[in-house]
Amino acid sequence: MKTLYLVRHAKAGWHDPAMADFDRMLTKRGHKQAEEMSELLRKKKITPELLISSPASRAIETAEIFADTLSIEREQIMQKIEIYEGQVGALVAIVQTLPDEYGTAMLFGHNPVISAFVDWLTGKPAGDMNTCGIAKIDLEIPHWKETATGCGTLDWYRYPEKE
């Protein structure tokens, strides 16, 4: 079995109206959300073996806060532009190429694609993920390349306002 944690980036803002969407940064609230949710994982003794993030500023900032809290070197965060640009198929392709020696991975992305990916993996509509929401999906597969629609079960979903 494989475990995939899907994280929607924390709250971001439009600090400058001329700023490109890709460059949007976390707000103070976003930093607080990421710190709170990563601390929740640390207390549960959850340390994913792989961190994969969209390179967009708000996603990579969220991933870095999680890495710091979970004592993972920031340099180990894999960045994939496909998470920012792509659709569900792009996320599927990323997961299907993960090395099998890893049993857990955490992917940081954006709505609506990250929420649609939860639905695709579980075969059930789960609704839109909140900012900095985390979905733990248990995949009933021995190899990442076998990731397919409906192969996962939503074990839990947490978000800052719920904690």
pLDDT at 19: 84
pLDDT at 6: 98
The annotation status of 58 as a binding-site residue, yes or no, is: yes
**Closest Cα partner for 106 from 142, 59, 150?**
59
The reply to whether 9 belongs to the active site is: yes
d(CA 96, CA 148): 9
pLDDT at 16: 78
Question: Over pLDDT 70: what percentage of the chain?
Answer: 99
The reply to whether 64 belongs to the active site is: no
Active-site choice (15, 64, 75, 85)? 85
Q: Which two tokens stand for residue 13?
A: 């803002």
Host H or E run for residue 28: helix 28-43
pLDDT at 5: 98
pLDDT at 162: 60
Helix ranges (H only) for 76-137 are 81-85, 88-96, 113-122
Q: What CATH number should be reported for the domain holding residue 31?
A: 3.40.50.1240
pLDDT at 76: 96
Range of the domain at 106: 2-13+21-162
d(CA 59, CA 131): 11
User: Exposed/middle/buried for 31, CB within 10 Å: 0-12, 13-18, 19+?
Assistant: middle
Number of helices (H), then strands (E), in the chain: 5, 6
d(CA 25, CA 15): 8
Average pLDDT, the chain: 96
- How many domains would you assign to the chain? 1
Flag residues of the chain having pLDDT under 70: 162-163
* DSSP character at residue 26: B
Q: Which two tokens stand for residue 36?
A: 């709170």
